Amino acid sequence: MKNKFKLFLIDNAVVVVFVLLIAIAIPLAGMPGKYLLQEVLTRLGRNAFLVLALLLPIMAGMGLNFGMVLGAMAGQIGLIFVSSWSIRGIPGLVLAVILATPIAVLLGYVCGSVLNKAKGREMVTGYILAFFMNGIYQLLVLYAMGSLIPIGNPELLLSRGYGIRNVVDLIGVRQSLDKVLQLTVAGIKLPIATYLVIAAMCAFIVWFKRTKLGQDMRAVGQERAVSLASGIPVERTRIIAIIISTVLAAVGQIIFLQNLGTLNTYNSHEQTGMFSIAALLIGGASVRKASIPNVIVGVVLFHLMFIVSPMAGKNLIGSAQLGEFFRQFISYGVIALSLVLFAWKRQANEDASRASLRGGASKGGAA
């Protein structure tokens, strides 16, 4: 019994550490419980879809899809046009999704192809690709829009005449999805429509895993050589996984931004990748395995920490800045810890099997 408990702790080390941290931080911050509850429920609606986008690439064995940032960019481009044309409300959101999807598919295809060329290094490559695409995005949004690409609404442009402003007010679509079915329960606002969309997405993922394509993806994720032998088009399946993930990220970013109501043209997408991945890992997922409960638990825990850290830091040391740094430290640290745990375990397994093959202790195993 004690061994099982120990094993549970190690397997879920990240979640456990995190829950402990939060348990300490919440009373330190001294924020009212109702406020925390409202914030968590709002953020759940805002972020869950984005984190769901990460599930398929993990299933396909491609690790954490840092390339989801590309999807976020596509979503933002859609919203920029919708804002420029003053299309409001749900129609505006639908139009943004329709505009963003082809862009996301294209970007997803590029991402998938590049990742296929870097087998074994997918995560770093995706990470760098996101930065690279950020440069292309800026070329497009900071220079081409308004000059080469006509933008109807001059209010969106910088004072120099071209390039989109740093902050775009999305008043037209602000809260459009959230308000469609908003219930207020005991003074807490719940965006039911948004939750329904997220639930639909979860259902889709569950259904997808049972389709042939889904099974192919899972096979590719677990054992590439075997699936190749079984006739599964490995490369193509991996690319499809990335494309779906990118499109979901685009939609997720649109949901995210409609809740916030403001678009930070050059920053919003950068944080999306990091926060979503950190949330997923905090929820107990690993580089090879992630499920829907990980998503929900992760978003709740991550954002709880996000809200309470500054105040906790201020009350503990007297500096809110410290809390801010602490929050970032935790975000990065969680990803680092998860990656390390995963790789450590994997290598320990490899070394053990190699040792048993050799019939003795191995000396400094090579990869």
Partner 1 sequence: MSGVKAFVADFGLPRIIIAVFLLALFVIAPFVGVSLTSSFINVTARFGMNGIMVLAMVPMIQSGCGLNFGLPLGVIAGLLGATLGIEFGLTGIAGFGVATLITLTLGAIFGFGYGKLLNRVKGDEMMIATYVGFSSVMLMSMAWIVLPYKSPTMIWGFAGEGLRTTISVEGFWDKILSNFLAVRIGPEFVFPTGMVLVFAICVALVWFFLHLKTGTAMTAVGSNPVYARASGIDVNRMRLVSVVLSTMLGGFGILVYQQSFGFIQLYEGPFSMAFPAVAAILIGGASVNKANMVNVFVGTFLFQGILTMTPSVINSVIKADFSEVIRVIISNGMILYALTRKTKVAR
Partner 2 sequence: MTKRSLVAKSIALAAIVALAVAMFFVGKGHTVYLDTNAVTIAGKEARAPDLSSVVFDDNEPEEMGRAERVIANAIGAKHSVKVESLDGDGKKAERTIRIPTSWEDVSISIPALLAGAPDSAVMTLYAALDRVDEPAEKTVQQVESDVIKLEPLTVP
Applying CB under 8 A, the residues found at the interface with partner 1 are 114, 117-118, 120-121, 123-125, 127-129, 131-132, 134-136, 138-139, 142-143, 317-319, 321-322, 325-326, 328-329, 332-333, 335-336, 339-340, 342-344, 346-348, 363-367
Q: Which does 131 bind (CB under 5 to 8 A by kind): partner 2, partner 1, none?
A: partner 1
At 150, the amino acid letter reads P
Q: How far are the Cα atoms of 273, 320, 328 from residue 331, in angstroms, in the given order?
A: 12, 17, 5
* 115 closest CA partner among 225, 241, 223: 241
How many of the chain's residues bind partner 2 (CB under 8 A)?
A: 14
Q: Decide if 280 contacts 49 (C-beta within 8 A).
A: no
Q: Which does 150 bind (CB under 5 to 8 A by kind): partner 1, partner 2, none?
A: none
Strand locations in 217-348 (E): 262-264
Nearer to partner 2, 82 or 295 (CB): 82
Nearer to partner 2, 89 or 333 (CB): 89
Q: How far are the Cα atoms of 203, 242, 249, 260, 360 from residue 39, in angstroms, in the given order?
A: 25, 31, 22, 12, 55
CA 185 to chain CA mean position, Å? 29
Cα–Cα distance between 232 and 97 in angstroms, integer? Answer: 31
Cα–Cα distance between 104 and 70 in angstroms, integer? Answer: 7
- Listed as own residue / partner, the contacts of 218-222 with beta carbons closer than 8 Å and 24 or more positions apart are 218/59, 218/60, 220/60, 220/61, 221/58, 221/59, 221/60, 221/61, 221/62, 221/288, 222/61
Nearer to partner 1, 261 or 333 (CB): 333
Q: Which does 136 bind (CB under 5 to 8 A by kind): partner 1, partner 2, none?
A: partner 1
Q: Which does 10 bind (CB under 5 to 8 A by kind): partner 2, partner 1, none?
A: none
Q: Which residue has the tokens 């995190």?
A: 18
Query: How near is the Cβ of 328 to partner 1 at its closest, in Å?
Result: 5
Query: How near is the Cβ of 96 to partner 2 at its closest, in Å?
Result: 9
Nearer to partner 1, 16 or 128 (CB): 128
Nearer to partner 2, 66 or 81 (CB): 81
Give the CA count within 13 Å in the CB-facing half-sphere of 297: 16
- The structure tokens listed for 105 are 């598919």
Q: Which does 88 bind (CB under 5 to 8 A by kind): partner 2, partner 1, none?
A: partner 2
Nearer to partner 2, 94 or 180 (CB): 94
Query: How near is the Cβ of 156 to partner 2 at its closest, in Å?
Result: 13
* Residue 294: Cβ within 10 Å count: 23
Cα–Cα distance between 277 and 282 in angstroms, integer? Answer: 9
Nearer to partner 2, 173 or 232 (CB): 173
56-95 positions binding partner 2, by CB under 8 A: 85-92, 94-95
Q: Which does 129 bind (CB under 5 to 8 A by kind): partner 1, partner 2, none?
A: partner 1
127-186 positions binding partner 2, by CB under 8 A: 153, 172
Residues in a beta bridge with 262: 169
Q: Which does 8 bind (CB under 5 to 8 A by kind): partner 1, partner 2, none?
A: none
Q: Which does 224 bind (CB under 5 to 8 A by kind): partner 1, partner 2, none?
A: none
Q: Which residues bind partner 2 (CB under 8 A)?
A: 85-92, 94-95, 98-99, 153, 172
